[in-house]
A and B are shown apart, each in its own frame.
Chain A
Amino acid sequence: MKTPRELLLARHRAAEPKLDALRREVVAAELNNQATREQSFKVSLVTSLLCCSNKLWRELVWPCRRTWAALAAVWVVLALVHLAQRDGSPPALAQSAPTAGMILTFRDQQEILNELFADRSVPAEVVRPGIYAPKPRTETVALLAA
């Protein structure tokens, strides 16, 4: 006497070797896929970086190579001039003392600035206008005439 489960499993027990092989194949494929996925990520990262730099070179640098070369030469000249100046005496601006005219001008400027930013606040009671009281038009005209 068998239960339906026992009977069903016993009927197909012969397929087990094939199922084992199939299972191993799937698991190996999964293992392989994982390794491939990890490797392919690294490869794709390097490839994309190389591709990007190559593209930059081809599309940005190479078509205007003369311009880039000229710019580079200018930068080299500028760097050389800068180095030559640094090797010599200290800068002329730091060396020269301010003249009397410059000092006078500076003082004038200072005074103007002081006037401009001086505190002009007036007491509130002086500024506040009186309460407006409407008057007949004739009185206003008389006041203006006087």
Chain B
Amino acid sequence: MPEVADPEPLPVPLARAGDPAAWDALFRRYQLPLYVFVFELVRDESASLDLVQETFLAAVKHLGTLRDNAKFGSWLFGIAHQKCRQRWRQRTEVLFDEIPESAGEWEPGPDDLLIRREEEAGFMNLVAQLPPPQRAALLLHYVEEFSLEEIARITEAQLGTVKSRLHYAKRALRKLLEAKNENPA
């Protein structure tokens, strides 16, 4: 995943000083991944755009609370995740954290998942069908390659819970892809 690597350090100190060009660079770097994350959680284009905008505005307002400049990305996704949760609670009253996740453990290892063109729609459907907590963990893992600790911080969950969520999500994904491979028709 070469797109994830940042060759230049993020201009967070300049943004702290109120430099609009620094803010522009920061937002340009994260706007699409953030939108993907938000859209896949709320499944509504205009709501996603609103939430991204709210996230940006909150970031400008609360940058002072960010302690480590290197963690700007996970901090920004944390704000977006909170906004999605608020929206989710307002809309459906389904609590993000109350889906039972007990068995199963995330096993760290090489992530060689590749999706063929004919599997793309199935993959997207599967992502959409996952329960929100698993979906959020999977998206953060795939879209920005956040570490388990970072995902736990963003989603305000325990590390074990995040491992379990990712385990379930990836198992479901592999099942889907294997089933497609067995029955290509």
- Chain A residues within 8 Å of B, Cβ to Cβ: 1-9, 11-13, 15-16, 18-20, 22-31, 34
Contact = CB atoms under 8 A, between A and B. Distances in A.
A7 B123 contact: yes
B149 interface: no
B23 to A, nearest CB: 5
- Among the interface residues B24, B48, B120, B139, which one has the most CB atoms of the partner chain A within 10 A? B24
Contacts of B124: 7, 11
A23 B32 contact: no
Contact of B28 (A1, A8, A15, A23): A23
Chain B: interface secondary structure? Answer: helix
A9 B53 CA distance: 18
B142 A5 contact: yes
Interface in B1-52: 1, 3-4, 18, 20, 23-24, 27-28, 31-33, 35-36, 39-40, 45, 48-49, 52
Contacts of B123: 4, 7
Interface residues on B, range: 35 or more
A143 B33 CA distance: 116
B168 interface: no
Interface in B105-137: 113-117, 120, 123-124, 127
Contacts, number: 94
B134 to A, nearest CB: 14
Interface of B: 1, 3-4, 18, 20, 23-24, 27-28, 31-33, 35-36, 39-40, 45, 48-49, 52-53, 56-57, 60, 113-117, 120, 123-124, 127, 139, 142-143, 145
Contacts of B114: 1-3
B52 A5 contact: no
Nearest to A22: B53
A3 to B, nearest CB: 6
A46 to B, nearest CB: 23
Nearest to A24: B24
Contact of B24 (A4, A5, A16, A27): A27
A1 B118 CA distance: 9
A1 B40 CA distance: 21
